[in-house]
Structures are given as C-alpha cells and as structure tokens.
Structure 1
Amino acid sequence: MSDKESLWQRCRQMEAQENLGESFKCALYLQRMDPNDKEVIETLRRLNEKIQKLSQEANSTENRMKKTIQYLKDETEDDDKRIGAANNLIALVRENSGRKLFIEQKGFDLLVSLLKNPKVLYDIRMGLVRVLAQIIGSSMESAQLVYSSIGIDFIIEIMSREKNDEFLISSQSAIQGMLTHFSGFSAKENQKIDKEKAKKYEQHIDTIMASLFQRINQRMMSAKCRDCLFELLMVNVDPEAIDWGKKLIKGNGLSKLLEVASELVEVRYESSMPITADTRTHVALVLEKIYNCMDCDKSREEFRTQMMQFMNDHLRGPNIESKVRATAAITALLNGPIDAGNHCLTQVGIVEMMLAMANSDDVVQQCVAAEALIAATVKKDKSETIAREGMGILKALFRSNNPKIKVRALVGLCKLGSVGGTDASTRVISDESTMELYKACCDLLEIGGKSPDHQNKPEDIRKWAAEGIAYLSLNADVKEALCKDLKSLEQLIELGKSGELSCLFGVVTTFVNITNSYEKQEIIPEMIELAKFAKQHVPEEHVLDAKQYVDARCKILAEHHVTSALVALSKTQAKTSREMICRVFNAICEHVNLRGYVVQEGGVRVLIRLALENNMLTGKRLAAQAIARIAITNDPSLVFPGQRALEVVGPIMELLHPECSALQNFESLMALTNLAQMSVQLRNRIIKDGGYSSIEQFIYEDHQMLKRSSTQCIANLILADSIVKLFEGDNDRVKYFVILCGDDDLDTASAAAGALAMLTSISKKSCQKILDAKEWQQYLMQLISSKYPELQHRGVVIVHNMISSNGNCARKIIESPILEILMAITQPGIIETNDTVKEIAKASLKRAEQLKLIKHIENLNLQQETGDDVEREL
C-alpha cells in the first residue's frame, strides 16, 4: 500500500472516530503531496467546517460551565441564581463536552462539598444529586469515574439524612445506574445480566452490594432511605439479576436483615431503628430472593444455620423484647421464604412460645404472636398445635377491647375459615359465621378509616381488616356482599390508592377474588364423572360465581376507580404481587365498556411496565393481553402516543407463543392488525425478528377466528418491502391467498382479497404468481361477480392490476370468462354494481384495448375491410 493510500485510510478512520484534529493533519499531508486533488480540497473544507462548529460549541459550553460553577461556589450569590445554576448543570452534563468540562474544572469536588453541607438549600442539593445520576447514567466511563472519585458510601451517606422522596429516588437511580453499567442488568430496560461484564467488574459490584447490606441496619438512617436501599436489594439480589445471595450468606449478612425484620412500627424500644409500614414487607421480599439464590442443599443449610443462630441469640435473652423481636423475624420469614419460616416453627418450643405470648396479658406480645400465628396458618392442618390450640386463643383475643389485637385475631380466624378456598362444598365454618367475620372486618375497616391516629391508621387496623376480607372473599357470598356494600368497597379501594405496600396483599387479593381472576384448573367433564364413580371429592362452583355475577362485580370495581388503586400498588417489586395486579387489570379489560376506565386512570403506562419488567411469565402475558384488548377497541394513536406504541409491540407479540391460549393468540392478532395501520415504523417493528412468521402461522389454523385475524393482520402489513419480497419469493404464499379469497368466512375472504389487491398494485411478479394457482379463474370470477360490494371491489382491483402489469397476465385474463363479467359490470343497466367498481372495470377494458387484446365494435368493420386479424370484440 502506498503512502498516499495509507494517509487516506487514516484520514477517513480518524474522521469516523470523530478525531477531527488528527484527520485534518492527514488531509494537509495529502494536499502537500497533490495540491490540486479536488477530493482532498473537499475533505479539508468539510473537516474545517466540523472543527469550527465544534470549537464554537465547546466555547459556548465552556463559558456556560464556568458561569454555572461560579454561581454554585459563591455562597453570597442570590439563592434563585444558585438553584438555577444547579438545574442548568443537569442539561450541561448531558453532553460529552459538558461532562468533560465539569470534570476538568473539579466539578466533583464542588459537588461533594455542597452535598455534604446540610446548610445548603435543598433545591440546590436536589439539582446536584440529579447531576450525579445523569453523569453515572451517561456512560460506563462516567460510572467508573464516579465510583472511584466519589464512591458508593458517600451516596448512601447523603441519602441517609434525607426524607424527601424526590431526592431519595434520584440517589437510588444513581446507585442503580452504576450497578447496571457494571453488570449489564436492568429491570427497567428488561436487560439480562452480561456475565462477561459482571465478571470483569465483580469487585465493583461486590463493593456496592456489600455497602448496601452493611448500611440497612444503621440506627441513624431515615426510614425512607432504608426502604430505598431495600428496593435496590430487591431488584439486584435476585437469581435472575446479580444473584448475590450466596455472597451475603458467606459474609454473615443475614443477621442484619433479620435485625430489621424484627422491628415493629407500632413498638418503639430504646434500640429501635426508624422504619416505615413498608419496611417489613421489603425485608420479607429480600429474604425470599436471597433464599431463592440458595440453589443447593449446602447453601440452604447455611442460610438456616445463620437464621437459627439469630433466633437462638434472641430467644435466650432474659427480657421480653428479645422474644418479641424473634417472633417478629419469624413472621417476616413466613411472609417471605416460607420454607425457612416453617423450619423455625419445627424447632422445639417455638410454637409453644408464640401461643404463650398470645395468651398473655401484654398487648405487644399479643399483637406480635397473633401476627405470627396468622403467617404460620397456611392451612388448617399445617400445624396441629396451631390448629388445635390457636383457634381458641384467637377467639379469646378477638374479644379484646383493643382494636389492634382484635383485628389481628380476626384475620387469624378468617384465615382458618378460608381453608376450603373457592370450593362451595368445603366449608370449615358455616356461611353464617363467615358473614359475621366479614361484618366484623368491615367494622374495623371503617374504624381504621376514621382513626385520628394517622401513624397507625393505614398499616395497622385497616391493613389487617383488608387482609381478613381477602381470606373471606374466597366465599362467593362475601364477594357479593362486598360489592353491594359500596362504602366498605370504596374504603378498600382508597386503601389501595394510598400505595402502602403493607396493605398490598389484602387489597389486591380481594380484587382478584372478586373478579374470579385467580388461576383455575380446567376440569374435564369426563374426569368429573370418573371422580364421582370413584367416590372422590369433586369441587363445586358457587352459584354466585357464575359469569353474570362476575361481570357485574367487575363493572362495579371499574366504576369505583379500582384502576387508580392498582396503579398506586404497582410500584411493588414482588413478582407474585405484580402478577396478581395483572390478573385484575386483565379481568377488567375483558369487558369492552370498562377499558376506558383503565385508559383514563393511567393503567396503560403501568401495564406496559408490568408486561416488560420484573414479573412472572403468567403476569407478563396477562398484562400483554390487557394491552391487546385495549388496542383492539381503542384508537392506538390515542392510547399509545409516540414511543409507547413501539413499546407495546413486543409484549403483544409474545402472546403468539404456542403455549398461550387461543383467545390470547386471537386478541394479539387483532391488536397487531390495528397497530399495523398506524405507521411504517410500527409495521417494521412488528415484522422485526421473525415477527411475520409468528403471525403467518395462524392462517393455516382450522380455528376460523385465528385464520381470519391472521389474514387481516397480514393485509395491513402487506405493503412493507420485506413482506412484498417474501410473497415474490419461491413459495406458495400468493397461491394460498388466492385460495383464501374463496373462504366461506366473508371477513377472511375480504382480507385475503384486500391483501392481493394491494400486493398486485406494487408487485408485477405477484400478478404473475396468481396465475400459478390451480383454480385462479374460478376464485377471481367469484370475487368480481360477488354480491358483497367489498369483495367485488377488491376482485376488480386485482384483475385491473393484473391486466396493467404485463402482456402475459393481461392475455390470460382476456382469454378467460372473466372478460365477459367485466363487460357485464360496465353495462349501464347493472344497478347492483357501484360506480367505483364500474369505473375500475372500464379502466381494465381500456387497458386491454391499449394492449390490442380487444377492440371496440365500431372498429371491427374497419378491421374486416382491411383484412386484419380479428381480435376479441368489445
């Protein structure tokens, strides 16, 4: 390779890498070699323009950055100007040049000093923490720089003093940004962990995760900050994320979690740490995810060993506080990794201690023990001791004058009474007793709503009353009673709107039960008869669980704004809870007239997140089905504005999976049909990554609805270049669509004919391929002579396109009986045919005449006189 060629190659390479200075130098050397080379002159001109533009931008950014930093440094400056400077800095660091200048001008030192100083105005510190999150999120290099120069401990430190949600969320975003860069995992972006990257930055990840775990039990940390740290742990410790559970156990970190789990909101000891009503729920979820990381007997045994060490240390304690804390921790385990919680119950004296505490006169012991008994009572026969002695103790506690104790005992009784589930033939307690328990729950729900004690109101009495109703609402009589008792129902929905995660189980479970959206096992009639013959128990559906009653209940829930409650509760990171929320959403969206409520109250945005992020597979599919249902009956451009329309394509396409039900397949195809007509960009998104083949597979189904919806969807995708090429390829797609034009189902035939009409308008090859169909004449004749205007219109357009495409197609058409039908259509006396169809038929005949395949009758005599060959007459 010559020197000139090498220089050209380097010049272009440097320009591509935006190293304009080096590229310009190479171009100057080239000009010296050949001063008259026009290509070199043009390159120099282009590079000079780029360099001048960048220089102007850099100068402008540099001046703005200097002024911004000057305002922030000057404590005597006006507060509004300093706040404006902090906010302007967010925009400046979005650009590479701005970030570079910020770092060069020792911006990190200024940022740290201002964030450390509690006397600095909150609005300034709020702007600066957003700057930090913006820098971290911009690139891997920036994240590494922040990690090394500022560190994770500093970010947690500035969080620990704050109680403002906005500040904490931005700080949380900064930490998550670092973890995402170092691991590749992002629940928000639905990105799985990059194992190579995670291995490379393992030390960074371990340092961040260890810092989070070390700080969770700090006494000086605000309660809201503690919850933020737990939310970070919930997202990242999961086996499907960073999978950090085993490292936590090796580092003996489980005791810190259990220490937080032992805290009670309503009980404050001298050693207590600040917590919210949601903290124990967060701890239970983190414990569950850590236990899920234990993928072998050895690691699970280590988990149980550390757990029992914590329990034994507290149970051996002489004071009652230690026993209360141990019992509270057991409750958290039973609400999280239930196998670990049950292991605690099997230890000698544990259950007896809980029963003794429940039977004591101390209110704190009674409350804590009642909660533990409720959590332990998964089924009536789960623990013989609890089933035998617990019922009597719970009944005694229920007679207490203290509403806190009364409501907990009530929930325990409700839980024991719900063992029969939805089976109407299995009832542990009578219907009369069930309704009495329900009324007691409603009374306590109302008392909690009126309670002036705002600290305990949402998470205490109302939470437990809602949980009691959740268990009782497995009974269809209770479902109906609750939907008629609108006051109690509205209080339950308002409780959900509060967004308190401690209330989530009771509220969402009740909604699932009311809508009958829980998972049902399909019962084959033959199996029922076989079970009866074998004298086995056959579950019976309650008469009030019939479809008309369920539909009415869904309507009542939607009209009383249940969507707002679901939106508020969707912030939970628990996959099972998110799946339950999806079940309720989908049950509401099953009804066409209720979908508007979901759209109006912000349900669409939440459904997209539920379909993409941190959810069980079933939950994702149910969320996608709800989205599809909305897309079928609502204008997609209104309910999915802008980028949101592209986001919904992926989840909806997932419903075409063979494991999904036929109804989900059908609704997915219908939704995609509507989306496909919005824009070229959306059509390409649908077709991307083999999407077309997923849609096309259903046109070969025997199920008429699936075949129809698939054909309609393809008709809306047909104009995409990639689809046209598919039909022009060496396959029988065109032939099959010709056959579909004769389908007994009018909508299927109409969609197939429409697809061919559009395809033949732009593809001459497809026109020719129609002739390859065995009975193409018959199908085209059926179309153009159809009594249905839409079919006839499409058929005439196909024929016109074929005649216009090439001489061979035109000749085949004219030589067939189709010509006579076209001539008949154009006759003035044919009233049944609309004017548009007649005009297209005339245009077809005119084109055939231009190709000299037919002639008008008045030209026939002249042709005969001159001795020319006689063409077909018109």
Structure 2
Amino acid sequence: MNSNLNELKEEGNKRFKTGEYSEAIDFYLKALKEANDASECESSECRLAIYKNLAAAYLKLNDHSQAAQYASKAIELSPYDVKALFRRMQAFEQLKMYNEAFKDAILIQKLEPKNNAVVPILQRLNAILQESNKQQTSLEYKVKTMLEYLNSNDLNEEKRLQSANNILVLAKEKVGCDMIIARKGISLFRQLLTSNQNGELKLTIVRVLCEVCKHKPENVIAVISEINSDILLDLLTKYWKCVEEMLTAVQYLVQTILSTLTGFNPKQNQKPDDALMKKYEKQVDTIMIDLVKKCSLRILDGEVRDAILELISRNVEREALNWGLKLVKNDGLHHILEVSSQLEEVKYESSMKITRNTRYQVALTLERVYSCLDNDKAREEYVNIVKEYIRSKLMSGDSESKVEAIATITALLYGPIDVGNQCLSQEGIVEMMLVMAGADEDETQQRVAAEAIIAAASKKDKCTSIASSGSKILKKLYQSKNESIKVRALVGLCKIGSVGGTDASFRLISDFSITKLTAACKKYLLNPSKDRDLKKWACEGLAYLSLDADVKEDIIDDKSALSALIEIAKSGDMSILYGAITTFVNLTNSYDKKEILPEMLELAKFAKQHVPEEHEKDKAEYVERRCRSLAELKVTSALVVLSKTESKTSREMISRVFNAICQYQDLRGGVVQQGGTKVLLSLSTTNNTEKGKIIAAQALARIGITINPEVAFPGQRSAEVVRPLMTLLHHDCTSLQNFEALMALTNLAQVNESVQNQILKDKGYSKIEHFMYEEHELLRRASVQCTANLIMNETLVNLYEGNNDRVKFLVVLCEDDDIETAKAAAGALAMLTHVSSKACHKIFDAKRWFEILLMLVSSKDAEFQHRGVYIVNNLIQNDRTIAEKIVETNIFEVLMAIVRPEVDDISQQVKQLAKAALLKAQEYKLIKATEDCNLGDVNES
C-alpha cells in the first residue's frame, strides 16, 4: 500500500482515538484523495475502510447527513459490510429517516443473527414506524375530510373558513402537505381564490400555499402551475385594504416560492444553492420578470407597488439571486425608471399611485441592480438605458416630462450615485435644473428642481460647484410662501453649509447662518401643524447640519427637538430613515474617523496643505453626554423600528448608533429592555454590510459582558449570539473587539452545555485558544478565563487529553505575570484534573511542575492556594504513581502544615482538601499518621 496513504490513515485513527474527530476527518479526507489517485486494486479496500471511519467520525460530531453519505459510499463498495450498514442505520435514525434505518437494521440482523446490538434498535424503529403509519392513516382522513368541507356548497362561510384553518395546520407537516397536493387541493385553492368573495378565506388559503411551498421545490412547481401571478395581483388590488395582512401574506408567499426554488433565505441568512438555481432557473426568471413588469402598472396602489419593489430589491442583489444583469437584459430597468419618475405630491393624469416610501424603495432597487453588474460593458449598458430614458422624457418638451426626468435623476443620485452624476454631467442638465428652480410660475418645477439640487450636492467638489451657481436660487426659494418649496430650499442650504463635514476649520457659509438654518429645521420639526413630509425634510436638514459639533450640542440641549426627532423616527416611515439615522450617527460620533498620524500632520503643515481640525465639542466627554441624552429619551425604540429597512447602508448606521450607546455599561440594560438585542442579532447576521455586521456583533458583545446572558439573550438566543461573537475573533478585528468578544463568550459559556457546544463547534476553540499566546495581557487573560469556563465540556476535555501540549501550557500559565490570568489557568487545571486522568498525568510534562504546584499550594492568596490544593488532591486521588511523585517533594510538607490544628489562617475547605490528599497517601501506604499531625483532628464541618 502507498506509504503516505497508510500514514495519513493511521494518523486519522490516532486522532479519532483521542477524541479529535475534526482533525481525524481532515486526515481521512487526505488519505481518501491519495486512495483515489492510486490504482483500483490497491485503493478499493483502503477506500472502504476510510469511508467507514469517516462515517464513524461524523457520527461523533453529530453530523448525521455526512455520516450517512460516507456510510452509503462504503456500502456501494461492499453491500454487506455490517459496520457500514450499522453506521448508516444510526445516521438515518437521527435524520428521522426511519424507513431507511429499519431496512438497514433488517439486513444487519439477516447478516449477523447473533448481533445483539441491533435488536433493541429494530424494536425501537418498528414502534416508531407503526406509530407513524397510524398517524398517517389518521392524517389522510383529516386532509380528505377538510378538503371536502372546503369544496362543499352546503357549508356556511364560517365553517368553510374553519376548514381552511384546519388545512393550514395540516399543511405545516410534510406528510399533510403531500396529501393536500395528491388530493388536488391546489386546484381547489385556485378555484376558491378566483370565485369565492370571502377575503378572510382567501387570506387563509394564501397562508396554506406558503406552508405548501416551504417543504420542497416540487410543491412550488405544483402551486405556480395552478396559481399564476395574475391571481395574486387580483388579490392585492381588490382585498389588501379590506383584509388585514393580505399584502404581507402575498408578499411572503412570493418570497417563499423564490426561496424554495433557489435556497436563498434572507431571514435565515442562507445563500442560494447553485444546483437549485440552475435546475429552476426558468421558473425563477419568469417570476422575477413578472414582478418587474408589474411594478409599473398604473392600477396598483402605492403600498402594493412598494411590496413588489421590496421583493425585487431583496432578491436582485449579488448576495441573493444576482439577477441585476438579467433585469437589464429583459428591459426591466425601464419599468423601474418609470416608477422613479413619479412624485407622491405631484399628480398628472398618467401618474402612478405611490407612497412616501416608494422613492426610497426605488432608489434602493436601482442601486442594487447596478451593484450586481460586475463588468464595464454591463454598467455601460445600464447607463445608456438610463440616459436614453431621460433623453426621451426631455425630448417631449412638456413640463410634465421635464419634471419626471429630473425626478429620475434625483432617485439615481440617492441610489447608484455614479449613474446619477453621469446624468448630471450631460450638457444642459444642471442649467435646466437651475432654470426650473427659478420658475416662479410653476411650483411643481421649483419643488422638483430643489430636490435635485439637494441630491446633487453630495460631495465637496460637487457641492462647491452647486453652491457657486445654485445657492442664490436656493436662498430665493427659501423665501417662498409655499412651505413645501421653502423646506426643500432649506435642506439644500443645510447641505451646502455642511460641506466641511466634521472639519472645524472649513466652512462654506458662516457659523451664524448655520445657527439660523438649525433653528429653522427645529421649527419645522416642532410645529404640530406641519405635515410629515415637511418634518421629513427638516430631519434631512439636521442630518447635514449635525456634522457640526456646535449643532450637535444645540440639538442635544433642545430636549423638545430631540424628542420630536426620536418620535418621528418611531413612526416607521422609511422616508424619514436617512435624516433620522444620520443625525443619530452624527450626534454619537459613530461615523468612521480618519486617523491622522502626527508625522503626516507635520508634513501637511510644512507643505501648506489644509489639515482637518477636530472641534472642541467632539471630544469624549461631549460625545458621552450626547449618547446618554439619546439613551434617556429611548432612542433604542426608534432604532428597532428603523431596522426594518432593507438598505444595508442604513442598517450599518443603525448598528453604529447601537454600538455607540453600548460602549457605556449602565446604558446597556436599556438597550435590552427596549428590544435591542433581537435587532442586533439580525443586524449582525443578515442584510448588513460586512463592517455593519462586525459593529452590531461588538454591541452584542458589550451587552453580553455586563448583563447576565440568560437575561440579555433568553432561550435560543444564547446559542444564536455565539456566531456573531465568534466573527469578532478574526485577526482583522481590533484588539478591543477581540477582547470584548472573549469576555462575552466567557459569560455565555456558563449558560448551559448547548451554548458551550455552539462555541466549540467548527473548531471554535482554536479561535479562542489563539489569544492565549498573545503578548497583549488583557487578550491572554480573557482567553484563559474563557477556557476555564469551557473546560468541563466533553469536547474540550477530549481535546486537552489529545497528543498535544495544551495541559502543559496551562501549567506554565499558572505563574503568568498577570495575577488574573494565572488564577484562571489554575482554575481550569483544577476542573480538568478533577474529570480527566490523562490530564493529571500530562501535568508532569511541564519542566517546572514542582515549582509551580509548590507556589500554588503555599500561596498567601486564598484563591491561589485553594486551587493549588484542589489540583494536588486531584493528582493524588487519581493514581498511586502520581501520589509518589508528590510525596517525594516539599508539596507534601506543605499539605501536612495546612492540616495542623494550630494553623488557623487557612479556610476549612482547603484543610479538608489537604486532609483528603493525605488520607489517600496513607491508603496507598506512602505515609503514616504521626502524633504531631493526627489527620483525625481536622474539623469535618
């Protein structure tokens, strides 16, 4: 046999025996590759053994799917191999594939009639299958009866609705779902959706279809072959207003259909499955094209349009179905642009119905479509379609088309800004905007142009250009008697005024003017007579102005304005989102700050380059006061509402504000009480930028450090929070993030064994252990403390018992310069030696074991001494040969001294441990009781 192959296989066997199952798998897989490269006659027997070993290792790791897979491969090579059959049977049972497990058990019994191990399993599986058959018979009767009731014309609507609700319960089970399809239930549902007039019944049927579609793609095919998009659209246009939750139910049904056909599940953070995507590509494309075409229908209500746009934007992006290029190729961009040209407050005969959230949703969709395009040719095609659309609008010459063209450019500037800027750079566009803004006789044109100017002033260079040509017009518009125009001009001026950002040394307009603009924004925000649209613009104005530290302090000092801002954010209006969350980020200084190295600062000054200056009121004490003021007014409640946004950029900003508040220990409880942890879990795992996920995870870590994990993360949440915390242990994260994650994991490790297993799975301990070797004192301490809380877990015990120096290193850490690290290491050793005989023997691998143990047992620190005596007692109790080594050293004399009656400055608990060790040494006949130290004299209490 290939020597390398044999070595790899044997190394895997060694790791398996020591309980290092993941490492064993790695070696088996390497051996398997070697076997596959060898000749058939040489490798066949070896591959059989490796497949069986892999199945056994995966069973130990509770990965039953992989165990079944490798056991099946072994059975393909040797159909009557009892070990392979037995392991596959075990895996099948755990996977609840009871029929398959029973077949394997029967075959094993035939092959080895005297195999007693399979008998109880056969009996158990037989009982399960009999019960399952009984339930299936009962379930089949229920499905049949409920469908008949649903189809009966004799039933009144109340009883028919009850039947539908019963079917909804049955559809949740896979068997019940299969029976519904087999009995042509989907056809009946189509008939009721198109003919019955009971809206509540239709809603229940939609929910049944959701459950049906969840189980497998074949069910989805059965549903979409009977129930097309026109039926669902009819439900939305006729029933969404009068039947609560109809819109949400239909939207959820479409998302479920797409998720089941592709494997993509945004709620569970599941990425698409390539095999499913390829198999059902045609069906997915049909659904997506249909959604895109329907989003621009004039008959839709605004809320329905928003729901369709949300489905498109959620599924189109690169991390989802990556459908942007197909949308462009299928003329879908034209439909999205049609929606982008609409204004809620401007109504023409041809206008669509939209809501205040539609423009936010369409800008997000345009951005996500553009971000999918990964080559210049595709982006160029996108830009050309956009430019042609705008050109066609402008060529018509009427004011309505001009307004729509500028509205589209504004949406692009809030979405794919590069495309918006390219549109702006076309000859005559900016000039036309300025002319429209000055058109006193047409308030609609003024309003739209003012919005476009605001959106265009996005960067310092652009803003400076706009300021030079448009600030006069904005000032003129600010004098308008029309509040809607006036507030837009106000925001434009605020944006120009904020161009210096946080740089206290750069201003395009005077501090006096900024103060006046701030007062104007707050006036709109506080005036009860102002409608929400005006308040939205006031929020956006503050978002720009609050980059200035004086404005931050002004807002914080004005409790009424701050409360109004938080209350309007709680409304859930996504059009408010940008203004509110940006202001919160600015107030908490939670934006990214560029670190300027001192030498670079001196170089810039020498070269007479502009050097940004931090404002006095942006220092730590001011930031803390602002964070506390926001927390006091329950900003977390607003963040919870705002987190419903689909925008990753906005979700990152929400994460930043949460994290800024969580940096103060006494504010973390309020975040928990107001529902912040649930939101942070979502922000740390799904639909967020990578940076946003890390920031949200850090906020969770901070909560986990201060607050009892069982309170902060009740129930299943304790296990769910582990994954985001583990991401903070990456080397790209800061030392502070590493440290806070380790501290939070230390606390979580005390919750229960299930949480410990979650921490340790997928080689999780290696990420924690890495920091034990760090020079950074706090990181090393936190890692050892976390290890101490995990050490009693069977997985970790097996790891420390393996062929490695882990126990030896713990012994060495007991004399670490940092007292807390040393105590944690001693505590870990005390617990480990209590449960592991191997660990007791491995202590003597450390060269300085005697000096370290002596130091512990004779320490004046009560904790150290307690742990030291505990370890020594464990060693002596474990093995006579170990006890001999201890008795031959001065450690024995220290134990004798501890139990003396006249020694009264040592706790009774330590005395009892010392006495137990000495009694065991007596039992081994290694020592004799002496008159000056009678072990019976030690107080038993």
TM-score by length of 1: 0.92
TM superposition shift of 1:640: 1.2
Equivalent position SS for 1:771? helix
- The correspondence for 1:356, drawn from 428, 431, 435, is 435
Cα distance in 2, alignment partners of residues 267 and 128 from structure 1: 38
Does residue 198 of structure 1 match 2:271?
A: no
Does residue 112 of structure 1 match 2:190?
A: yes
Indicate the residue corresponding to 1:546 in structure 2: 619
Q: What letter matches 1:270 in structure 2?
A: E
Q: 1:632 to 1:384 in 2, by over 3 A?
A: closer
Stretch deviating more after TM superposition (483-492 or 83-92) = 83-92
Cα distance in 2, alignment partners of residues 742 and 19 from structure 1: 55
Q: Deviations along 1:515-562, whole A, 9 cap, x unmatched? A: 000001122233323333333322211111111111111011011111
Cα distance in 2, alignment partners of residues 545 and 39 from structure 1: 72
| 1:37-48 equivalence runs, <5 A | none
Does residue 749 of structure 1 match 2:808?
A: no
Equivalent position SS for 2:245? helix
Indicate the residue corresponding to 1:808 in structure 2: 881
Q: What letter matches 2:257 in structure 1?
A: M
Does residue 249 of structure 1 match 2:322?
A: no
Q: What letter matches 1:63 in structure 2?
A: Y
Q: Is the 8 A contact 1:277 1:502 kept in 2?
A: yes
Cα distance in 2, alignment partners of residues 384 and 483 from structure 1: 29
Cα distance in 1, alignment partners of residues 113 and 265 from structure 2: 54
TM superposition shift of 1:596: 1.1
Q: 1:47 to 1:482 in 2, by over 3 A?
A: closer
Does residue 215 of structure 1 match 2:294?
A: yes
TM superposition shift of 1:617: 0.9
Q: Is the 8 A contact 1:24 1:47 kept in 2?
A: no
Q: Is the 8 A contact 1:578 1:610 kept in 2?
A: yes
Q: Is the 8 A contact 2:102 2:122 kept in 1?
A: no
Indicate the residue corresponding to 1:477 in structure 2: 550
Indicate the residue corresponding to 2:514 in structure 1: 434
Q: Deviations along 1:139-174, whole A, 9 cap, x unmatched? A: 222222223332444334423442466222222222
Does residue 710 of structure 1 match 2:783?
A: yes
Equivalent position SS for 2:859? coil
Instruction: Structure 2 unaligned segments of length 5 or more: list them.
Output: 1-74, 935-941
Q: Is the 8 A contact 1:152 1:175 kept in 2?
A: no
- The correspondence for 1:386, drawn from 453, 466, 473, is 466
Q: What letter matches 1:838 in structure 2?
A: K
Does residue 506 of structure 1 match 2:579?
A: yes
| 1:250-265 equivalence runs, <5 A | 250-265=329-344
TM superposition shift of 1:658: 0.3
Cα distance in 1, alignment partners of residues 727 and 119 from structure 2: 54
- The correspondence for 1:595, drawn from 668, 675, 679, is 668
Q: Is the 8 A contact 1:27 1:43 kept in 2?
A: no
Cα distance in 2, alignment partners of residues 566 and 616 from structure 1: 17
Q: 1:585 to 1:216 in 2, by over 3 A?
A: same
Q: 1:165 to 1:620 in 2, by over 3 A?
A: farther
TM superposition shift of 1:726: 2.0
Q: How many residues align?
A: 848
Q: Deviations along 1:1-39, whole A, 9 cap, x unmatched? A: 9xxx989999999997969699899989x99x9999999
Cα distance in 2, alignment partners of residues 517 and 88 from structure 1: 51
Q: Deviations along 1:750-784, whole A, 9 cap, x unmatched? A: 11000000010111221122122111122112211
Equivalent position SS for 2:576? helix
Equivalent position SS for 2:298? coil
Q: Is the 8 A contact 1:137 1:174 kept in 2?
A: no
Q: What letter matches 1:419 in structure 2?
A: V
Q: 1:426 to 1:20 in 2, by over 3 A?
A: closer
Indicate the residue corresponding to 1:376 in structure 2: 456
Indicate the residue corresponding to 1:321 in structure 2: 400
Indicate the residue corresponding to 2:688 in structure 1: 615
Indicate the residue corresponding to 1:871 in structure 2: none
Does residue 844 of structure 1 match 2:921?
A: no
Indicate the residue corresponding to 1:365 in structure 2: 445
Q: 1:687 to 1:132 in 2, by over 3 A?
A: same
Q: Is the 8 A contact 2:899 2:933 kept in 1?
A: no
Q: 1:522 to 1:108 in 2, by over 3 A?
A: same
Q: Is the 8 A contact 1:351 1:385 kept in 2?
A: no
Q: Is the 8 A contact 1:252 1:306 kept in 2?
A: no
Indicate the residue corresponding to 1:581 in structure 2: 654
Cα distance in 2, alignment partners of residues 22 and 845 from structure 1: 54
Does residue 73 of structure 1 match 2:146?
A: no
Q: What letter matches 2:483 in structure 1?
A: P
Q: What letter matches 1:307 in structure 2?
A: V
TM superposition shift of 1:133: 0.7
Q: Deviations along 1:279-333, whole A, 9 cap, x unmatched? A: 1111111111111122222111111111111111111113211111111011000
Cα distance in 2, alignment partners of residues 647 and 25 from structure 1: 36
Q: What letter matches 2:350 in structure 1?
A: S
| 1:671-750 equivalence runs, <5 A | 671-750=744-823
Indicate the residue corresponding to 1:454 in structure 2: none
Q: Is the 8 A contact 1:236 1:242 kept in 2?
A: yes
TM superposition shift of 1:202: 1.1
Indicate the residue corresponding to 1:84 in structure 2: 162
Indicate the residue corresponding to 1:180 in structure 2: 259
Alignment root-mean-square deviation, CA:
2.9
Q: 1:382 to 1:48 in 2, by over 3 A?
A: closer
Stretch deviating more after TM superposition (609-618 or 520-529) = 520-529
Cα distance in 2, alignment partners of residues 819 and 650 from structure 1: 46
| 1:785-864 equivalence runs, <5 A | 785-858=858-931
Equivalent position SS for 1:218? coil
Indicate the residue corresponding to 1:155 in structure 2: 232
Cα distance in 2, alignment partners of residues 27 and 708 from structure 1: 55
Equivalent position SS for 1:854? coil
Q: Is the 8 A contact 1:403 1:444 kept in 2?
A: no
Q: Is the 8 A contact 1:715 1:751 kept in 2?
A: yes
Indicate the residue corresponding to 2:3 in structure 1: none
Q: Is the 8 A contact 2:187 2:226 kept in 1?
A: no
TM superposition shift of 1:51: 5.4
Q: Is the 8 A contact 2:292 2:332 kept in 1?
A: yes
Cα distance in 2, alignment partners of residues 746 and 779 from structure 1: 14
Q: 1:43 to 1:767 in 2, by over 3 A?
A: closer
Q: Deviations along 1:215-245, whole A, 9 cap, x unmatched? A: 0001112221211111111111112221111
Cα distance in 2, alignment partners of residues 273 and 582 from structure 1: 35
Stretch deviating more after TM superposition (604-613 or 304-313) = 304-313
TM superposition shift of 1:574: 0.9
Q: What letter matches 1:103 in structure 2?
A: I
Stretch deviating more after TM superposition (202-211 or 134-143) = 134-143
Cα distance in 2, alignment partners of residues 297 and 34 from structure 1: 66
Q: Is the 8 A contact 2:463 2:499 kept in 1?
A: no
Equivalent position SS for 2:575? helix
Q: Deviations along 1:386-412, whole A, 9 cap, x unmatched? A: 232210000000011111111100000
Q: 1:156 to 1:778 in 2, by over 3 A?
A: farther
Cα distance in 2, alignment partners of residues 640 and 256 from structure 1: 44
Indicate the residue corresponding to 1:135 in structure 2: 212
Q: Is the 8 A contact 1:380 1:387 kept in 2?
A: no
Q: Is the 8 A contact 2:89 2:105 kept in 1?
A: no
Does residue 337 of structure 1 match 2:410?
A: no
Q: What letter matches 1:733 in structure 2?
A: R
TM superposition shift of 1:785: 1.7
Cα distance in 2, alignment partners of residues 35 and 658 from structure 1: 56
Q: Is the 8 A contact 2:255 2:311 kept in 1?
A: yes
Stretch deviating more after TM superposition (38-47 or 604-613) = 38-47
Q: What letter matches 2:331 in structure 1?
A: N
Cα distance in 2, alignment partners of residues 108 and 365 from structure 1: 51
Q: What letter matches 2:204 in structure 1?
A: G
Cα distance in 1, alignment partners of residues 830 and 462 from structure 2: 66
Indicate the residue corresponding to 1:423 in structure 2: 503
Equivalent position SS for 1:786? coil
Q: Deviations along 1:638-665, whole A, 9 cap, x unmatched? A: 2212211111100000000001000000
